[in-house]
Amino acid sequence: MAVTKPTMLKLASALMINMIMSCGAISLYPHKVHVDLRNDLPFGLNLNVHCKSKNDDLGVKEIAPGQVWGFKFRTNIWGTTQFSCEVEWPGVTHFFDAYIDERDFCEVCFWGIRMKHPCQLYKDKTICYDWNDY
pLDDT over 90 for what percent of the chain?
73
Q: Which amino acid is at 118?
A: P
Q: Which amino acid is at 60?
A: V
pLDDT in tens, 93-106: 999 999 999 999 89
Region 26-128: CATH code? 2.60.40.10
pTM: 0.77
Strands 32-39 and 82-89: unpaired
Contact criterion met (CB below 8 Å) for 48 and 89: yes
Angle 92-98-100 from CA coordinates, rounded to 5°: 140
50 has pLDDT over 50:
yes
Contact criterion met (CB below 8 Å) for 73 and 53: yes
Mean pLDDT (whole number) for 2-9: 69
Element (H, E) at 82: strand 82-89
Considering only residues 16 and 9, tell me which one the structure prediction assigns the higher pLDDT. 9
Angle 63-101-84 from CA coordinates, rounded to 5°: 35
- Local confidence band at 4 (pLDDT 50, 70, 90 cut-offs): confident
Amino acid 21: pLDDT = 46
Alpha helices by DSSP H, 44-90: none
